[in-house]
Amino acid sequence: MGSRLVVLVSGTGTLLQHLMDECAAGRVPAEIVAVGADRDGTAALRRAQSAGIPTFVCRVGDYPDRAAWDAALTRACAGYRPDLVVSAGFLKLFGERFLAEFSGRCVNTHPALLPSFPGLHAVRDALAYGVRITGCTVFLVDAGLDTGPVIGQQAVPVHADDDEAALHERIKEAERVLLARTVAEMVSKGWSVSGRTVRFGGTVRSGDARKEGQR
């Protein structure tokens, strides 16, 4: 039986769609068992529903504070018994409860080569700085803003005539491939974390992730 993935989304769902396609083709040996969002009516949710994947929505405004929202999100995700939680364009920071539950087994993507240019404006910041090479990063989520251990990265050259939209589009193309490839390696080989170093072929593998992902 393949690994179980819960994917969290906020927007159009292009990262989600590529991951869905790769799972369906067998190139990612995993099943997306649920897709969750922080808002109703997104294109990403419609993509999941069209594919027959269960969905749920956990809106911050429905709870008295962020801690209560974080607890509800944690319960919703945990109910699907995921081996790995994938943040695919999910535009909310996770809280203490979520991180305690899914430490070591929640991955996120970022449109820059971390630790350079963290935050919401990574592409704009890279252009403003004048770098010749940027890219994307897949990393394990921790309590900081884009500060978790790096799992994989892909370089993307900056062209002389690039504006933010053109560069971001090329980064997103690389990001989709990198995310699916990284998830495939994690669920097929397992992974381990030592300090800030993530290695494939470690102690965490498929269903064992629920037991060992927090070590």
Q: Which are the catalytic amino acids?
A: 110
Task: Determine the residue type at 18.
Answer: H
Q: Pick from 205, 212, 214, 215: which is nearest to 4 by CA?
A: 205
CA distance 156 to 199: 23
With helix as H, strand as E and coil as C, how does 78-100 read?
HCCCCCEEEECCCCCCCCHHHHH
**52 contacts 23 by C-beta, under 8 angstroms:** no
139 forms beta bridges with: 108, 150
The C-alpha atoms of residue 110 and residue 14 are separated, in whole angstroms, by 14
